[in-house]
Amino acid sequence: MPRVSEEYLTARREQILAAARVCFLSKGLHNTSMQDLIQEAGLSVGAVYRYFKSKNEIIAAIASTVVGGIQLHIEDVAARRLPLTDSMSAILEEVERQLEPGGFLPVALQVWAEATLDPAIGAIVKERYEALRDSMRVLVVHAVESRELPADADVDATTAAFYSLLPGYALQRLLTGRPDHDTYLAGIRTLVNRP
C-alpha cells in the first residue's frame, strides 16, 4: 500500500477540525457527538479515529490552535519591544481576526464554558491558557525595563491583569459587539498612564 504524504495527513486533520468547528458552532460543543463530527467531515469512522480518539482530543487540538496562533503573535509582538499600549493594540488586532467568520474565538467561548463543567476539558484549557499568560509576561517585563510600568511592579500580578484584558475584549465583542478596538485601547492607555 502506498504511503500518504505529510501534506495529505495534515489536510485530513484540518478537515476534521473544520468539521468540528462547524458542528460546535451550529449544535454546541456539549451537544455535538463524534458521529456528528464524522458526518460533517465526510470521512469514514476509521479515518476520523485515526487522528482523534475522542471529542476531547479534538477540543484539545482546537484549543492548541487558538492559543498557539495567538501565542505566536504575542511572541512576535514582544520581540519588537514596542511601547506596552502599542503591543496591546497589535495583540487586539489578532483577537479581532479570530473573532471574524472562520476564526476560532467563537468556538473557544464554548470550550471555556465546557471547561467549567468537564474536568478533562478544564485541564486542557488550564494548560493552554497558562502558556498564553506566560507569553504576556514578556510584555510586562519589557514595560518594567523601559519604565512604562513602575520598577517595583509585581510582574506576575500585572501580567495576570494584562492577560485578562484579552479574553475580556473577546467576550465583550462576542456577546455585545462592542467596544471597538480604539475605544478599548483608549481604556488600556488610561490605565497604563495613571500616575
Both 160 and 73 in one domain: the answer is: yes
**Do 37 and 100 lie in a common domain?**
no
Give the separation between CA 156 and CA 142, rounded to whole angstroms.
13
Task: Count Cα atoms within 13 angstroms, Cβ side, for 67.
Answer: 23
Say whether both 38 and 114 belong to one domain: no
What average pLDDT does range 51-77 have in this prediction? 85
Residues spanned by the domain of 3: 1-53
- Residue 3 CA to residue 71 CA, distance in Å, equals 33
Q: What is the DSSP letter of 104?
A: S
Per-residue pLDDT tens digits for 3-59: 668 888 888 899 999 899 889 888 888 889 999 999 999 999 998 998 999 888 888
- Buried/exposed 32-58: b ≥16 CB within 10 Å, e otherwise: bebebbbebbebeeeebeebbeebeeb
Mean of the per-residue pLDDT values of the chain: 88
pLDDT, greater one: 194 or 5: 5
- The answer to whether 62 and 20 have CB atoms below 8 angstroms apart is yes
- pLDDT of amino acid 100: 84
Whole-model pTM? 0.78
Looking up residue 106, the CATH number of its domain turns out to be 1.10.357.10
- Is residue 23 located within the same domain as residue 86? no
Task: Let me know whether 29 and 104 are in one domain.
Answer: no
Can you tell me the distance from the alpha carbon of 60 to that of 65, in angstroms, rounded to the nearest whole number? 9
The amino acid sitting at 192 is V
From CA 40, how far away is CA 20, in angstroms rounded?
A: 8
**Could you tell me the pLDDT band of residue 66, with boundaries at 50, 70 and 90?**
confident
CATH code of the domain in which 49 resides: 1.10.10
Question: Around 14, how many Cα atoms within 13 Å sit in the side-chain half-sphere?
Answer: 7
Per-residue pLDDT reduced to its tens digit, 124-154: 888 888 888 999 999 999 999 999 999 999 9
Please, is 122 exposed, middle or buried when counting C-beta atoms within 10 Å of its C-beta (0-12, 13-18, 19+)?
A: middle
Domain count, the chain: 2
pLDDT at 193: 79
Which among 38, 53, 68 is the end of a domain?
A: 53
Between 106 and 176, where is the model more confident?
Answer: 176
Q: What is the pLDDT of residue 194?
A: 61
Q: What is the pLDDT of residue 99?
A: 86
> If you average pLDDT over residues 55-74, what whole number do you get?
83
Do 89 and 144 share a domain, yes or no? Answer: yes
